[in-house]
Each structure stands twice: as structure tokens, then as C-alpha cells.
Structure 1
């Protein structure tokens, strides 16, 4: 690997596998943020195992579109927003980034609020103060640390998601029923079931993850002092393999954790008649009398751990998009004074999210509207990404294969259809 010290043999075996993990693993883990945990808890509490099959459906869609995002960054050496700026009408760029910012700020508010509420459940105190404190901690870490050190912290933070595996192990899951539900859909033909289905897709295939993984591939390229693959196509083979493994593992990790949350809440909350859960902290509190103090504590600790991973990803993806839209350099390895807009965007979006509670906006309710924005944004953004990876002006000789193109457009079509279904229910509820 080009990042290894001169004279040191490249790693092999398990060490090589672990070294290959990075942007994809962190992106997959960040997908299970506190607001996503809230959605999955609600699905498990309300429908039991009835929607577990949707994670089998969403997994290949996640893999293909996140691989497309990674290829955009690694092959072109530029993020999604900068590629939009270079090759497509400017109004598309402004629309995509504006919608991303709105959705990210609301997601940040929901995640920080959930972290504050979880810590309050564990130790008591002021949720608002904890929410602000977590926001400040995330800003300081993201601004003060160099990229290699910060990416290592994010990588280790992914281990916090194993708390949900621990919860499943003590939740007395009826495994034959749970595993059967993965391949035998328990369909219900009603609006609540359809909306929950779309919500799962919306929380697993999110626009901020596209911008983040593309940006992280560029960060890795700079760290290793290598050129974009469009300039060195002869060296693309090992890099494309690394991206595929990294993305596959990251999305598999994300999917398994999501299923663990659904199974745990189905076996505890749903089985005991607790069906009305709207936030991750409510799910943690509801687990206490049913599954015991240990499961409650692990669930609450997991919310905080995943939030510490997801909040920087949400703010960082917004910063990559804004700086690229403005035509400036963006990097977590840059000094704050050399990348003012980049770090200012991180700080402003994080603090804006943390302040939602103080101005009377309910983050849980606002998250519903963030899902609407993500629903509007995800499908068209995926379509634009598919145009980028088939554009020789952007990708050089490394445009995606016909197989990747078919899979990518299939994922895009499913997301657009799901988003249209979701928006149809929103319009119906408003009328």
C-alpha cells in the first residue's frame, strides 16, 4: 500500500483486511445514528419482525450507491458538489446543497438531543446542557485534530455499535421467527406499514452519507500522497478492490446493527405491548422495566457512542458540500485558518442543530420533515451521481461498468419510487 513507510512490506492477511477498512466502515457505522436508532426502534416496537425483510432489500442498494459515491471521490479527486459545479448547471448544485444543509441541521438537532436525553437517563441532569455540550465536544474534536488521528478515532468509535449486539443477546429473541422474517415478508397493506417501509429506506440511504464517503476518499488520497485514479488508471485495480471491500463491510455492519435494534425492540417492547416509540431515548427508557437495567444501560450508552460518530459525519458532509460549492479546498487535515469556510460550516451546522430545542422546535417532529427533505433529495441526487460516474469528462477511462450502471440505476429507481410513496402520504396527511 502506498501509505506504508518505505522499505516496510505491505500488510497481509487480517492486517491487510483491517487496513483496507476506512471511509466505507465509518460511513456505514454513521448510518446507525441516534435518529436512525429511533426509527428502527419504532419499527421493531410497532411491527415486531414484520419489516425485517426490508433490510435484506436495502443492503444491496446501500452497497451500490455508496460505492458509486466512493468512486466519484477516488477517481476524480473531487467531491460530489465539486463535480456538480464542474459538469452540470449551477442551479442543480445550489438546490442539492441547500436541501442537504436543511436536512443535516435537523438531523444534527435530533441526534444531539437524543444524546443529551440518553445521558440524562444514565446520570440525571439537564438534557439541554448535555445536548449543547456534546455539540461543542464534536466541534472541538473535528477542528482540533489532524485527519489521521481523527479518522482513527472515528474508526474506533464504530465499536460502540456492538452494544446493540449485546442488547440482542439478552433480549430473548425467538430466533427461528426472527430469521424467517428476513426472507418471508409479513406484509400489511396499510399506510402505517408503507410509511415505515419508506422510513427504513430513508434512514439507510441518506444523502449526507454520499457526500461524506466521497470526501473521505479524497482525504485518504491526500494522506497517502497519491493522484486521482482518472490520472493513473493503470493503478486502479487494487484501489477499486479496496473500495468494494470497505463499502461492503461498512454497509453489512450497518445492516446487522439495524437488524439487532429491530430484533431487540421486537422481542421486548412489541412482545409486551409497547408500540408507541418515537425517539431512541424513549426506546432505551421503555427497555428498562422489560429487559432489565443492563439492556437499558447498553442501549443508552450506544446512543451516545453512535452520536459521537454520526454528528461529525453530518457536519463534515455539509462542510464538504458547502466549500466545494464555493470552489474552495476542503479537508479535515487543513489548519483552521487555512480552511475557514470548511470549519465554520462544521461549527455553524452543529450549533444550529444543538439550538433547535432552545427555540421551541421539537427535534423528533423536525426529523419527520428532514425525512421529507431527504426523500426529495435522495433520488435526484443518486441520478446525478450515476450521470457523473458515466461521464468520461469526470471519470476519464474509469467510467463504471454496464453491470454497475444497471445496479446503480435500479437502486435509484427504487429510492425515487419509495420517496414518491412517502411524499404521497405526507400530502395526504396535510390535506
Structure 2
């Protein structure tokens, strides 16, 4: 049996080995807590206090399950989700899914860069729109001109920005016994506003762009290692890679949900307990936090918005580019020079620049973000169903079709999202 460096881990510095191996799952999980997500979690904590903490515990295993499925599809087949959909499903389904993902991602980019600009204005003063342009352009240039193997290191370091939200929680006094009681036995409600918020948290936590990004990053990692091959063609490399995917994704989604937990907790123990319940943006949450928790908590919260935005924008733009490139058979890789993948980088540029431009229009960013969440919620269900079907097909996965346990987790996540979307439409009509 073939033995390569991609199969076995060194006997020496095991901790260092796994730290280097963390990548697609860690970055995907961290990018989930973008400024738009921060706004959603802040609203959940401000409006419903500790009674919304259960959501991050509930979604964690489901999120891990569906993201492991997306990662395995990429690593086993050697292709991203859009390419696999194009090869095995009708064109109308492919183009519908890709189009909706690109629209939602672009709107999300616009909301995120605007939130970053507003956060810097709160800290330093000055023009928020100009800051938003600068942040968007910097992110775009980094993606275009820095090769993948170097750029992924930058993204890993940016995940540390999320620790600001863990630190913020410890700046304020927290009644931990009450937190634990509400977390394990929350007071739930069927009121439309409660259901809508639960749906928003689910939709923010499990989003289509995360599926496309993580599957494509597994392909990028495989291409970046000249000894690696798609697992369907190199089964000897499977054990180490599938174990890495499981650990990487478990840690990445755990990090994501931990940060979401602390954002909800911080806003619950400060804003909710002081009667501040109407929070619609992450910058508004930071502003409301200042007179209650103090300047240090305010600065930490605001700085976290900027750091997470710099991490999330490349994931949003990149997932759109991977989806389009897979659909239209374009050359695609962040490792390629711009002139070698013009259309791929063109999608990244257009998504980012149009997102920036949305901040200069009359479009209400709150409504735009709402419709982005609606699109994400609706399109996630068929994508998740397609992923589960693909992951069980021997012609795509060979001998690495997913296990019964992973099938259960993945289909539970899919059914949960379908139920959330159904509840959302019921709430919209009510």
C-alpha cells in the first residue's frame, strides 16, 4: 500500500502537526460569525436574553454533520459542489442554485463592509462609507494577489479576532447559574417574533456559502500538495485525510458556535437586562453596549466586527467564484495567478465591488440583509438535500460514501432547515 506524507502524522510534534493541518473547517466556522451574523446573534440576546442560548447548542452537531459532508465531497471527488451538481443533475437546478447563492453572497458582502466601516467610525470617527470602501478593496486585493498557501495563513490568524467576543463576556458580570438554567430549560414561545429570531439564528449558522467554500478549500488543499490526490483515486490517503476533516470541522464549528454563544450571552446580560431589545446591526449593538458595559467592552466588540468582516468577505466572494466556475467549467483556484483564471477572479471582484456599491444606494441595508437571509434559508434546503444525495452515491464517492451516522446528522440538519424555512414563511404571512 502506498505511503505518503499526506497519510501519516509525525510521531513527534503531534500538536504542531494538527495546528498546521487546521484550515478549511476552522476558516469556514470562523467566517460564519461575520458582521451580519453578529447582528443576528446580538438581536437574539437583546430581545430574548438567555432564552436563546439553546440554539447554538442545538445547531452544533447538525452544523458539524453537514459541513463534514461538504468537505468529504470535495476531498473525495477532487471537485467542488457546483462541478459535482453540473455533472450529475439538471442544468436548471445548477443555475438556479448558483444564481441564488451569488445574489445572497453579494448582498451579504455589502452588509458586512458597511458594518465594518461603521465600526471603525465608532472607534476612530471619520467617514464610514470611505472606511467600507477601503476594507472591501483591501480584501479584494489580498485575494487576487496573494497565493492561496500564503493567504490561508492570513485567514487563520484573522480567526483570532473572534476571541474579542469571548473576552467581552468576561468584562461584564454574568450570573452563571441563571445562564445554565435558561440554557438547559429555556422559556420558548410560538410568538412570531420568537420564531423569526430562531429561524434567523439557524439561517445564520447554516448557510449555503459555507458549503461551497469548505468543499472548494478541500480541493485547494489537495491541489496545493503535489503528493495528494482525490481520495477516490488514492484510497491509501483516506484515513489521515478523513480524520483531519472530522477534527478540523469539529473544531471550526465549535469555535463558531462558541463565539455565537458569547455574543448572545454578552448582549443578554447587558442589553436585555437593561431593557435594550431592538438591535438591528452589529454596530448598533456595539453602541448600545458602551454605556452599560463600558468603553473597553465597546472597543472589543467593535474591533471584532472589523476582524470578522476581513475574514468573511473573502469566503463570501470566494464561494461565489467557486460556484460560478464549477457551473461554467472555468479555471478556478486562489493558487492561480489572476491572468490564469480571469473569470474566476472576475466574479470575486464583481461580487466585492457590487457589495461595496450597495452602501452608496438607497437600498435599506437592513431589508437587504433580511432578504439575503431569506434567500440563504430557502436555497440551503435543496443544496443540503443534493449534498446528502451526492455523498451517498458510489459514482461520486466510490468506497467513501458517508456512514449511517453521518447520514442521520446530515438529514436531520436538512430537515431542521426545511422546518425553519417553513416556519419563516408562516411567520411572514402572519
Question: What is the TM-score with the length of structure 2 in the denominator?
Answer: 0.97
Contact 2:73 2:397 in 1 (8 A): yes
Which residue in 2 is equivalent to 1:312? 314
Structure 1 residue 181, shift from structure 2 partner:
2.3
Structure 1 residue 375, shift from structure 2 partner:
1.3
2:305 is aligned with 1:300: no
**5 Å matches for 1:222-371?**
222-225=223-226, 226-371=228-373
Which residue in 1 is equivalent to 2:109? 108
* CA distance, structure 1, for counterparts of residue 133 and residue 347 of structure 2: 17
2:399 is aligned with 1:383: no
Counterparts in 2 of 1:10 and 1:80: CA distance versus 1, 3 Å: farther
Structure 1 residue 180, shift from structure 2 partner:
2.3
* CA distance, structure 1, for counterparts of residue 136 and residue 429 of structure 2: 34
Which residue in 1 is equivalent to 2:156? 155
SS for the counterpart of 2:173 is: coil
Which residue in 1 is equivalent to 2:124? 123
2:95 is aligned with 1:94: yes
Contact 2:331 2:340 in 1 (8 A): no
Question: What is the TM-score with the length of structure 1 in the denominator?
Answer: 0.97
* CA distance, structure 2, for counterparts of residue 29 and residue 424 of structure 1: 31
Q: How many residues align?
A: 426
* CA distance, structure 2, for counterparts of residue 34 and residue 404 of structure 1: 30
Structure 1 residue 13, shift from structure 2 partner:
2.6
**5 Å matches for 1:40-119?**
40-119=41-120
Structure 1 residue 99, shift from structure 2 partner:
0.6
Contact 2:77 2:397 in 1 (8 A): yes
Structure 1 residue 12, shift from structure 2 partner:
3.2
How big is the alpha-carbon RMSD for the aligned residues of Structure 1 and Structure 2? 1.5
* CA distance, structure 2, for counterparts of residue 189 and residue 143 of structure 1: 47
* CA distance, structure 2, for counterparts of residue 76 and residue 339 of structure 1: 21
Structure 1 residue 154, shift from structure 2 partner:
0.1
Structure 1 residue 419, shift from structure 2 partner:
1.0
Contact 1:372 1:423 in 2 (8 A): no
Deviations 1:271-291 (Å, cap 9, x if unpaired)? Answer: 111111000000001111110
Contact 2:73 2:391 in 1 (8 A): yes
Contact 1:375 1:422 in 2 (8 A): no
Which residue in 2 is equivalent to 1:198? 199
Counterparts in 2 of 1:73 and 1:11: CA distance versus 1, 3 Å: farther
* CA distance, structure 1, for counterparts of residue 328 and residue 163 of structure 2: 39
Structure 1 residue 178, shift from structure 2 partner:
1.3
SS for the counterpart of 1:244 is: helix
Which residue in 2 is equivalent to 1:133? 134
Structure 1 residue 2, shift from structure 2 partner:
5.3
* CA distance, structure 1, for counterparts of residue 332 and residue 182 of structure 2: 44
Which residue in 1 is equivalent to 2:145? 144
Deviations 1:81-106 (Å, cap 9, x if unpaired)? Answer: 00000111111100100110111011
Query: Displaced runs of 4+ in structure 1, greater than 3 A?
Result: 1-4, 8-12
SS for the counterpart of 2:50 is: coil
Counterparts in 2 of 1:410 and 1:9: CA distance versus 1, 3 Å: closer
Contact 1:93 1:325 in 2 (8 A): yes
Structure 1 residue 10, shift from structure 2 partner:
6.1
Which residue in 2 is equivalent to 1:400? 402
